[in-house]
Amino acid sequence: MPDNVLVCDPHGEPLRTTADVLDLIGEAWSAGANWVAVPAGRLPDDFFALRSGVAGEITQKFANYRIGLAIVGDVSSRTAGSTALNAWVTEANRGGQLWFVRDEAELRSRLAVSSP
């Protein structure tokens, strides 16, 4: 993994609160990371229920601090059950701030392509 990515432990505590997200962003800043790779399993269930606003709140925090957010893991079971979530994941993967990737190898590949 490139040095500019903070990779979160898949067995860490879920990101439940705004404070959890801000702590993670602070950790990224301290490490000099431009990206944070968060295992999908560390996100609360309501992250994947777009109506809850949790996904927007979390992703906006990363955007505000200009740190990319990569959700790592298979989210296909979630996107299969929600047309809106599926569309959002597809659109996010077209951009340069939020990506949903299967694994760290896919993230490495995407970062290699997007790096100058």
pLDDT, tens only, 29-71: 999 999 999 999 999 999 999 999 999 999 999 999 999 999 9
Which residue range forms the structural domain that includes residue 104?
5-114
Residue 49: predicted pLDDT: 94
Residue 115: predicted pLDDT: 63
Number of independent structural domains in the chain: 1
pTM higher than 0.95: no
Give the Cα separation of 12 and 6 in Å (integer): 13
Q: Which of 103, 92, 14, 98 is nearest to 61 (CA)?
A: 98
Q: Please enumerate in sequence order all residues whose Cβ is within 8 A of that of 53, keeping only pairs 6 or more positions apart, or say none.
A: none
Q: Which of 12, 5, 82 is nearest to 36 (CA)?
A: 5
